[in-house]
Structure 1
Amino acid sequence: MKSFNEKVENLSDTQGRAALLGMSRGIEREALRIDGNGHLAQDEHPKALGSALTHSRITTDYSESLLEFITPVCHSIDELLEGLTQTHAYSVRNLNGQELWPVSMPCYVGAVSDIPVARYGTSNNGKMKTLYRKGLTHRYGALMQIISGVHFNFSVSQELWQRLYDDKIANGNGSACCSKSINFEDFVSESYFGLIRNYRRLVWVLPYLFGSTPALCSSFIKDQEVDFEFKKTGKGTLYLPFATSLRMSDLGYTNKEQDTLNISYNSLPDYLEGVGAAIKMPSKKFAQIGVNVDGEFRQLNSNILQIENEFYAPIRAKRVTQKGEKPSQALSRAGVEYIEVRALDVNPFSPVGIDATQVRFLDLFLLHCLLSPSKDTDAVGEAEIAANLKAVVLEGRKPGLTLQRNGEAISLKQWMHELFDELAILAILLDGEDSHAYQTALSTWSEAIDDPDKTLSGRVIQEVVVKGTDHSVWVKTLADDYHQYLSQYPLTDEVVQSYKNEAKQSLLEQQKLEAQPQANFTSFLEDYFSDVVPAGTFEAK
């Protein structure tokens, strides 16, 4: 098996560099709508933004108040971020004076019952999306569901896959995975799962650098009993001195019921087998909620996962689904097409939640995960992955913090310096002779290794603890500034018209769907889950 350096060397010619640069990316950014007081918006999704069910770029996530902006797939980083900024700029012009909350942890929330669950109309597909969210409410509570994040979708070029495949065939040492017995499609999926395993071993790097939730508004805790020894500053800001991402802690977007699933990432078949078992696995806890109680649906079913999307993971293997297809069916049909990075907090220092230096770092990081040897993971390795992530999420900026690497202690600083040394080789290759963009981005974030104050979480602590600005006041000031910036961001008449046209078209598409004959909703669910839950599950109890 070739080393990382050997693979990079093999790609260092003109064609190899072009193959590496052929990456495709997409971004999904979530943001709460807030009123003038910085409180959660209570009204429905603005009609000027179109239908949340059918719009390709502007939708909602859990709540009617939780917007999600989706970029098209882009090869150019500039085009990617320009498109994301235009979507923000068009949206804020159509929020009737409301603003976007520019951090991951929620704004002030009064009664939890005030969090409006997203609604998608009267079609069976729309009803199912809303019911799924009602199920999440009953299972985990609404507060957890309005935590915002940024998802980064990533794939490499067919040219790179061909180079890597040809090299593997040419240098196969007689093993099954290194001979012509593996076809191209299976090789791509196998390689993506190698990337995923390496990513999971190194995922702690992302909250260390990009985690931006060491502090939160105390209204998020309410009456919950929490195990964290929070410190308090200002009127109601809670924080952990060395935390990086409370969003990724047990306080955030987690599901303890899933701890028993043990889904394997050692191959696509293993993964699909694990997910398939999970969506069929009954939960005694969720069964107590009921599915259809007195004629009112409370959740899609009472299994550990209602649907595959409920499986919380910091990275996912993905393929674009065909009409009526479930995610695992798409993967089974044609293998992995791209991966989705889900470990990113919203960057509060960017008006769109992420910046170009982060994107370039993610390019380098994910290519490193792809090109490095990736052994299978066992139970011991999984425990090490979980322990390292927890340590960095809660104490990542703690001086002298040590992690475990293959069963041996290593300081976070030493591990990161070693990683950055290898990333630098890639950065030089990608930049070539005419650019320094990747090297500059890497240099920017390398400063945070020895100076934790230069991480995003360190910068947040500087604002809310060192400067003593209350968290909600600081974030509302950012919201005001970004609203003004985006409101004045230049949009051509053609761009504005394209958003208006898509909003109008998406509303018409939803109306068309709702005008079609609809099966009885109970029958629709029975048909959709016919291979997952026993008959009679959806009958009223």
Structure 2
Amino acid sequence: MYHLLEQRLREIDAHHLHPYLRNARTGLEKESLRVSSEGRLSQRDHPAVLGSALTHPWITTDYAESLLELITPPQERAAEALDFLLNIETFVYQQLNDELLWTTSMPCVLSGERDIRIAEYGSSNAGRMKHIYREGLAWRYGKAMQVIAGIHFNYSIDEAFWQPWQQVQGDARELRTFRDAQYMGLVRNLQRYGWLIIYLFGTSPAICKSFLGGRKAPEGMEEFNEYTLYEPFGTSLRMGNIGYTNSKENKTGVSVCYNDLDSYVSSLRQAINTPCPEYANIGVKVAGQYRQLNANILQIENEYYSTVRPKQPLQGFEKPTDALDRRGIAYVELRSIDVNAFHPAGLTRRQLFFLEVFMHFCLLQESPLVSADEFHAINQNQMLTAHRGRDPEVRLSCLGKSVLLRDQARDLLQAMRPVAEMLNTVHAEDCYTDCLDSQIQLAYNPDITPSARMLEEMQANHESFFAFAQRKSLEHREYFLQRALDPALTGEFQQQAKASLARQQVLEAGEKMDFDSFLKAYLSGTLADVKN
């Protein structure tokens, strides 16, 4: 099963390609809800002192006005990305006064959807489009699932690696074509083996009852106490059937193909250009007010939720599919990571080092095309792991065979050891095999996974999910308030905030196109050719 992986590792060694893997880039995106000191969802505007949510490169909002998103620029080492994230959050916390950043993926107490203010981005056409897109999500899926938080891990292989690697593989295609094919193989394996991240990193086995808004609890969910629901063997309910997944995929006709970049782009384009009768019933512009950007299966590409996305940085008002079509894949975004409630950053260095091992394993491991049957199995494996991952009897479907999750996890992690050893050589460190050893312990002992630890603490302290999450949020708040930033760095953050507000003002003052024309041009992919 791992013959090609072993062969490729030998080729990297024989051709001395280790230096070409040294400058991989890591970026992190972390979502956190702003909440009041009582643990209620904040109703305040995005703080102006943090800058413009529309134009700030590092501090923005996701779905809701209260859902902060902190973004690091790509860093040469994963640990540097974590340090950058800690610095951003330190700066943010020192501006929040009495508010907290909620430190778990599942939200705090919700008093119905009226509590959730959809994010505002100002009066520019770009800002209005971002807000209306979110209005569309509310009409289509409801608001509650949109305020679930997570961490996205963005990773690019060292650009210098591709040409010598192509020569070793004897591939005569254009370099970009080869690189895109390699990245799509990585993407398929991230999906194929992605259930492992849900098992190892999952930290959302319980929810506040208020999240369901009075709806009946899904099958398998039990009462932990008066205020909390949980799944006894759950790992990441965020990634299960209560989270923002494409559960309507069969109903609405979304069918995204990952077998090559052209198929991926064309299948997404088909979904964003195909009308959906169900969404047409909502209406697009009703009584002069937009309810959604359009009534198609997907309003825009980002509406399609996937655990992993191939990405290319956008230029201006470029659409993601157009960017991929024009310049190919620049990096891969892994989106299945829960916020780790046991660490202020939401992620540990060991977890980051393991993600690097996992990325290179998925790149070098054989990656056959995904059939319809395997795509179904991938989704089922994800759901089973999210809801029953710590059940010693739970079985996954792998290569058409039914296997115990615990056995498959151990087998996969052991297969990653030579990859970890390779990265040790690349960086002249031992951190990669060390981090692998720590994850292997979780495969042998589900009781020490983050999800199990969370339930254990709740049980020991006789506390609800809310009480646990609030306690951890207060602990982390104290950590950030005590953490000192270099004055020069504080000044840089302050300058970025001011500059972003100025950029938004310039954008709004310079608007020349009416919104209807702007939206039509954007959706048709011609906005980059039009002076806005």
Tell whether the structures are fold-level matches, with TM greater than 0.5.
Answer: yes
* Structure 1 position 288 matched with structure 2 position 288: no
Q: 1:321 aligns with which of 314, 326, 332?
A: 314
Amino acid aligned to 1:265: Y
CA distance, structure 2, for counterparts of residue 436 and residue 526 of structure 1 = 53
Partner of 1:522: 516
Give the conservation status (yes or no) of the 8 Å contact 2:319–2:525: no
Give the conservation status (yes or no) of the 8 Å contact 1:291–1:299: yes
* Structure 1 position 85 matched with structure 2 position 86: yes
Amino acid aligned to 2:324: L
Q: Deviations over 1:86-128 (max 9, x none)?
A: 0000001101210100000110111311211110001101111
Q: 2:489 aligns with which of 492, 495, 519?
A: 495
Q: Deviations over 1:506-528 (max 9, x none)?
A: 00110011111332212222222
CA distance, structure 1, for counterparts of residue 369 and residue 481 of structure 2 = 49
CA distance, structure 1, for counterparts of residue 189 and residue 69 of structure 2 = 28
Give the conservation status (yes or no) of the 8 Å contact 2:314–2:323: yes
Partner of 1:417: 410
Partner of 1:338: 331
Give the conservation status (yes or no) of the 8 Å contact 1:189–1:335: yes
1:466 to partner: Cα distance: 4.9
CA distance, structure 2, for counterparts of residue 402 and residue 257 of structure 1 = 25
1:8 to partner: Cα distance: 0.8
Q: Deviations over 1:128-176 (max 9, x none)?
A: 111111111111111111000100000101232123201111xxxxxxx
CA distance, structure 2, for counterparts of residue 158 and residue 136 of structure 1 = 36
1:223 to partner: Cα distance: 2.1
Partner of 1:65: 66
Q: Deviations over 1:284-340 (max 9, x none)?
A: 111111111111111111111111111100000100111121001011001111100
Amino acid aligned to 1:252: G
* Structure 1 position 440 matched with structure 2 position 434: yes
CA distance, structure 2, for counterparts of residue 324 and residue 242 of structure 1 = 44
CA distance, structure 2, for counterparts of residue 14 and residue 189 of structure 1 = 22
Amino acid aligned to 1:345: D
1:50 to partner: Cα distance: 0.3
CA distance, structure 1, for counterparts of residue 88 and residue 51 of structure 2 = 13
Give the conservation status (yes or no) of the 8 Å contact 1:22–1:157: yes
Q: Kindly tell me the number of residue pairs found equivalent between the two proteins.
A: 522
Q: Structure 2: where are the runs of 5+ without partners? A: 527-532
* Comparing 504-513 and 417-426, the one that deviates more: 417-426
Q: 2:193 aligns with which of 193, 199, 202?
A: 202
Give the conservation status (yes or no) of the 8 Å contact 1:233–1:468: no
1:362 to partner: Cα distance: 0.7
Amino acid aligned to 1:248: M
Partner of 2:249: 258
Give the conservation status (yes or no) of the 8 Å contact 1:151–1:344: yes
* Structure 1 position 245 matched with structure 2 position 236: yes
Q: Deviations over 1:234-271 (max 9, x none)?
A: 33111000011110111111233333322110101111
Partner of 1:470: 464
Amino acid aligned to 2:141: Y
What is the TM-score when the length of structure 2 is the normalising length? 0.95
Amino acid aligned to 2:13: S
CA distance, structure 2, for counterparts of residue 118 and residue 107 of structure 1 = 18
Q: Secondary structure at the match of 2:127?
A: helix
Amino acid aligned to 1:3: L
Amino acid aligned to 1:481: E
Q: Secondary structure at the match of 1:529?
A: helix
1:440 to partner: Cα distance: 1.1
- Give matches, 1:52-451, under 5 Å: 52-169=53-170, 178=171, 180=172, 182-259=173-250, 260-432=253-425, 434-451=428-445
* Comparing 214-223 and 432-441, the one that deviates more: 432-441
Q: CA 1:134–1:375 in structure 2 vs 1: closer, same or farther (change >3 Å)?
A: same
Q: Secondary structure at the match of 2:13?
A: coil
Amino acid aligned to 1:286: Y
Partner of 1:538: none
Give the conservation status (yes or no) of the 8 Å contact 2:125–2:511: no
Partner of 1:535: none
Give the conservation status (yes or no) of the 8 Å contact 1:55–1:506: yes
Q: Secondary structure at the match of 2:309?
A: strand
Amino acid aligned to 1:75: E
* Structure 1 position 461 matched with structure 2 position 455: yes
CA distance, structure 1, for counterparts of residue 192 and residue 246 of structure 2 = 20
Amino acid aligned to 2:46: H
1:350 to partner: Cα distance: 1.1
CA distance, structure 2, for counterparts of residue 256 and residue 405 of structure 1 = 22
CA distance, structure 2, for counterparts of residue 337 and residue 391 of structure 1 = 32
CA distance, structure 1, for counterparts of residue 126 and residue 389 of structure 2 = 42
CA distance, structure 2, for counterparts of residue 10 and residue 468 of structure 1 = 55
Q: Secondary structure at the match of 2:190?
A: helix
CA distance, structure 2, for counterparts of residue 488 and residue 465 of structure 1 = 29
Amino acid aligned to 1:41: S
- Give matches, 1:18-33, under 5 Å: 18-33=19-34
Q: Secondary structure at the match of 1:200?
A: helix
CA distance, structure 2, for counterparts of residue 531 and residue 511 of structure 1 = 25
CA distance, structure 2, for counterparts of residue 465 and residue 206 of structure 1 = 25
What is the TM-score when the length of structure 1 is the normalising length? 0.94
Q: Deviations over 1:204-258 (max 9, x none)?
A: 0011000111101111012223432322223311100001111011111123333
Give the conservation status (yes or no) of the 8 Å contact 2:410–2:444: no
Give the conservation status (yes or no) of the 8 Å contact 1:134–1:298: yes
Q: Secondary structure at the match of 1:109?
A: coil
* Comparing 1-10 and 46-55, the one that deviates more: 1-10
Partner of 1:17: 18
Partner of 2:530: none
Amino acid aligned to 1:461: L
Amino acid aligned to 2:455: I
Q: Secondary structure at the match of 2:76?
A: coil
- RMSD over equivalenced CA pairs, Å: 1.6
Give the conservation status (yes or no) of the 8 Å contact 2:79–2:352: no
1:186 to partner: Cα distance: 0.3
1:426 to partner: Cα distance: 1.5
Q: Secondary structure at the match of 1:243?
A: coil
